[in-house]
Chain A
Amino acid sequence: MTPDSQASMADPRRLVVEDLRVVVKRTGHDIVDEVSFTIGPGEVFGLVGETGSGKTTVALALAGHARRGLSIAGGRVLLDDRDVLKLSASELRHVRGRQIAYVPQDPSSALDPARRVGVQLAEALRVHGDKREGAASRLREVLAEVRLDSTRELLRCYPHQLSGGQQQRVTLAMAFACRPVLIVLDEPTTGLDVTTQRHVLETMRTLCRSYGVAAVYVSHDLAVVAELVSSVAVMYAGRIVEFGGVQDVFFSPAHPYSRRLLRAVPLTGRAEALQGIEGSPPRPGRRPPGCSFAPRCPLVLPACNEEPPPAVELADGRRVRCLRAGEAELPAPSVEALVQQDSGTGEISALRVEGLVAAYGSTEVLHSVDLVVPPRRCVALVGESGSGKTTLARCVVGLHANCSGQLHFGDERLPMGYRRRTEQAQRGIQFVFQNPYTSLNPRRTVGQIIARPLEHFGEWSRSEREARVVGALEDAALSSEFLNRYPDQLSGGERQRVAIARALVVEPVLLICDEVTAALDVSVQAAIVELLRRLQAERGLAVLFITHNLALVRSIAQDVVVLANGVVVETGSVEKVLERPSDAYTIQLLEDVPKLGSATSRAHRAGPQPVSVTQASPRRVPDAER
């Protein structure tokens, strides 16, 4: 096995995975193959990849589980020298929970909504732990470890009464309660905002260190992984394409896929056009004969298409599946620095929000919010979950009528409900929804979906409409082949492109994007953000870009508005807010954003990649609200 630079404990091998293979039962296609890695006690191991790379399948296989329709066809999973895959059902039940704990992605669906938190925790202790004696004190101890006070109130809560972060802490507490030797975390922080995420991650790291637990952390978010783990495996199409110490992998990624993946991560510190990865990973059973990444690889050689590249071991102990892995100087991807655009000072703003107060029932979620989107500029509205940013967007498009204050679109005063708005406003303000999986009607083709607004506003002939639909598709970087497809034939990124095409086909003045990348992988997010940035610049669109991810702001917006608990706490240009934040909340938020860590900052200093330079306009751009 690979000598691991990080493991330095007495027993360096707590978990050994060898040639793990999971296949689809019926067809025999492999979902995951040739997966091998080692984890030592107290070590956190990162498993990174896009949707569909097989990372969750691997995570489940570590606990001896295969999802319905799949079966574990080969390999070994040695936990303290005992093969988990060879255990009988009753032995497995014994091992799960007591020795292997699994923390699922969504804590709200992992906890039983009908039972009190205390009861669920006690059950976890009772079933697997020491029988009864001192149960109450163990409960307190377990909760203290995840930094929750074991007050009566908390224990008597039902899961829905807790926040997302608290819920995830409870599942962590349950996982750590029985002192497992291996804990598998499947994207446990995906639904959490940055501050909560950081707290949960810190808790987890401390617990792993202090109890010598080996942890597998599954994620598509490289930045999170970089801060947390000591070694990392990058998965692509069911295989580990690069495996090594986190410093090495992020310092100088050797596989072209890892390099592209790293380029896609938005960072607060760099103002560059994000680069997504074109195309999508091949599905099981449709993988090419050669390297699975070859069709998307910018550095592809003819030999790549012939047979799967073997794992090559580099000098620093890394294993890489790439024919060109040994080459010292891989051509660095070109980087496009962003140039700030001139603002439209003096012109009438595209959107002006004054004293907006919005409420759900009697609970006020927005307290007198002021916001301005100048023409031809992109304003990012940043805030944590629950800060009211989506409510604000819904007010602006008229979906949330329980609000007061003033909305101006150009020189037109907007009524609150969409029903009372003029056609000009309905057409001029377009909205892109957060979740592309619910925003497209599953019973209509892409062509019908995009033509819908055109039919509605009805000033085009049939042939004009068709031409415009194709044009909109092309603008969204989709070919006209997509016209007759249905949404469930599209990937998440393609769906979001269709949603963007639908919004832009009527040539709006103002585009509102509500967390449009929150449901997407990092690599897809990069491509979508870049698409929006390009369209915004080309068409001179005014954009209100709503996000919880401060790191994204640099890549698209010129101005930032920070929203906290329904109040605007800071506004200003991107440089000002990100580099010289004045509000304590913004500063905290910036600190909590996961960075590619020391690993990459060092990489940028010494590595072969060019150091990114912020090429902002020399002249100070005026703040958004002026």
Chain B
Amino acid sequence: MDPEADMDSDRSSAQAPAGQAHAGQAPAHRRREWLFVLSGAAKRPRGRVGLILILFVVLVAVIGPEVAPYSPTAFVTSAFAAPSRQNLLGGDELGRDVLSRVLAGGWLLLMLALASTLLGLVAGTIAGMAAAYRRGFSDGLIMRCVDVLLAFPQLIFALMLVSILGSKLWLLVVAIGLAHAPQVARVVRSKTLDISERDYVHAAEIIGVRPWRVMVRDILPNLTTPLMVEAGIRLTYSISILAGLSFLGFGLQPPAPNWGTMINENRVGLTENPWGVLAPAILIAILTVGLNTFTDAVARVSLGVDRVEEAVVYNLLPTDALK
């Protein structure tokens, strides 16, 4: 794929409805920006591939529990039984059906990943935006805290919280969310620093609009695209951290099935029935690759949107070059 040609089509598709034609309709990338970016990403080959991969895994996770041939906790065969007609992917360490456990084990993982990502985004955005907009002491305080948190690798940080406080579901979400927040805060802060020096922010300030209102109404809407990209990246990380924690035994507790724990449980039988490890690992891999690919497409589309805006802001747009 030619990235240049790609970029070009971005710019013109984003710009096409604008201009002096005054059709009366607002340009799509302003009316519902996130929708525009998502649909734009889904239209590109890269985004389409990512979306298909994601949908496949989500489908497995959602429909899986309904179509699983056995109960995920029932002992139906011998330990590490090879795949057979009754047990398509064989048995696990305790003789449970691997296929059924794989089908049932994705749902919770996805939900927890989503919840912790959301928490991380919200916390990080608030911290980053406040730091950048308030400047001075608040900025120093918030960002030094962020620096301290950043010093721990995410997995270790989450591990630390969970091992101190015990492993409850909500705690997992909080731990992983907090592990994300510093990274999000950094991204949001740098973008906010730029936006808060724009004149439309000053225009609100000099009539005396309260700082939090300025943040919510003037700055936040302009953070949409970077936040979308960040959300994709963070979701990928959430999944791998969750799976990692589970693998290490700190995550979701047995006997409930989940992909991370399964890899841990079944690794001793890798030679007898590799599917016990491979099946969940492959699904996690597909999901991660799919998310990354789609996020990449989102980033490209939003870069196109932001380019147009930047060009307008700095008066770089060759007004005669488009359309």
Is the contact region of chain A dominated by helix, strand, or loop, or is it mixed? Answer: loop
Q: Is the CB of A452 within 8 A of B204?
A: yes
Does A284 have its Cβ within 8 Å of any Cβ on chain B? yes
Measured between beta carbons, the chain B residues less than 8 angstroms from A398 are 206
Interface string of B36-61 (1 = CB under 8 A from A): 00000000000000000000000000
Which among B24, B203, B320, B323 has the greatest number of chain A C-beta atoms within 10 A? B320
Does B21 have its Cβ within 8 Å of any Cβ on chain A? yes
CB-CB contacts below 8 Å: B6-45 with A? 8, 12, 17-22, 24, 26-27, 30, 33
Q: Is the CB of A441 within 8 A of B222?
A: yes
How many residues of chain A have a CB within 8 Å of chain B? 63
CB-CB contacts below 8 Å: B200-215 with A? 200, 202-209
Q: Is the CB of A418 within 8 A of B321?
A: no
Q: Is the CB of A440 within 8 A of B200?
A: yes
Q: Is the CB of A442 within 8 A of B207?
A: no
B interface residue count range (under 10 / 10 to 19 / 20 to 34 / 35 or more): 35 or more
Measured between beta carbons, the chain A residues less than 8 angstroms from B18 are 486, 488-489
Chain B, residue nearest A27 (CB): B323
CB-CB contacts below 8 Å: A35-84 with B? 51-54, 56-57, 67-70
Task: With A442-B312, A443-B221 as known contacts, state yes or no: A399 contacts B206, CB within 8 Å.
Answer: yes
Q: Is the CB of A486 within 8 A of B27?
A: yes
Does B315 have its Cβ within 8 Å of any Cβ on chain A? yes
Q: Is the CB of A52 within 8 A of B319?
A: yes
A56 to B205, alpha carbons, bound, how many Å? Answer: 38
A90 to B36, alpha carbons, bound, how many Å? Answer: 42
Q: Is the CB of B30 within 8 A of A481?
A: no
Q: Is the CB of B309 within 8 A of A488?
A: yes
CB-CB contacts below 8 Å: B267-323 with A? 308-309, 312-315, 318-323
Does A343 have its Cβ within 8 Å of any Cβ on chain B? no
**A73 vs chain B, min Cβ distance (A):** 14
Q: How many A-B residue pairs have CB under 8 A?
A: 135
Q: Is the CB of B206 within 8 A of A418?
A: yes
**B32 vs chain A, min Cβ distance (A):** 11
Measured between beta carbons, the chain B residues less than 8 angstroms from A407 are none
Which among B12, B18, B24, B312 has the greatest number of chain A C-beta atoms within 10 A? B312
Chain B, residue nearest A419 (CB): B208
Measured between beta carbons, the chain A residues less than 8 angstroms from B135 are none
Measured between beta carbons, the chain A residues less than 8 angstroms from B21 are 283, 286
Chain B, residue nearest A420 (CB): B208
Interface string of A383-409 (1 = CB under 8 A from B): 000000000000001110000000000
Task: With A441-B222, A443-B33 as known contacts, state yes or no: A488 contacts B308, CB within 8 Å.
Answer: yes
A69 to B8, alpha carbons, bound, how many Å? Answer: 7
Task: With A69-B8, A437-B315 as known contacts, state yes or no: A489 contacts B27, CB within 8 Å.
Answer: yes
| Contact among A238, A397, A486, A519 for B320, CB-based, below 8 A | A238
Chain B, residue nearest A439 (CB): B199
Does B168 have its Cβ within 8 Å of any Cβ on chain A? no
Q: Is the CB of B200 within 8 A of A441?
A: yes
Measured between beta carbons, the chain A residues less than 8 angstroms from B204 are 452, 456
Top 9 A-B residue pairs of the complex, sorted by shortest distance between their CB atoms: A439-B199, A443-B221, A426-B208, A441-B200, A52-B319, A433-B199, A486-B30, A438-B199, A397-B206
Contact sample, A vs B, 25 pairs, CB 8 Å cutoff: A24-B321, A24-B323, A54-B320, A67-B318, A68-B8, A280-B20, A398-B206, A399-B205, A418-B208, A423-B208, A426-B207, A431-B203, A433-B199, A437-B314, A439-B198, A440-B200, A441-B200, A441-B222, A443-B30, A443-B222, A456-B208, A486-B27, A488-B308, A489-B22, A489-B27
Known: A67-B321, A286-B21, A452-B209. 4 other contacts (CB 8 A): A56-B320, A284-B320, A286-B323, A433-B203
By a beta-carbon cutoff of 8 Å, the part of chain A in contact with chain B is 24, 26-27, 29, 31, 51-54, 56-57, 67-70, 238, 280, 282-286, 397-399, 418-419, 421, 423, 426-427, 429-431, 433-435, 437-445, 452-453, 456-457, 481, 484-489, 491-492, 499, 502, 506, 519
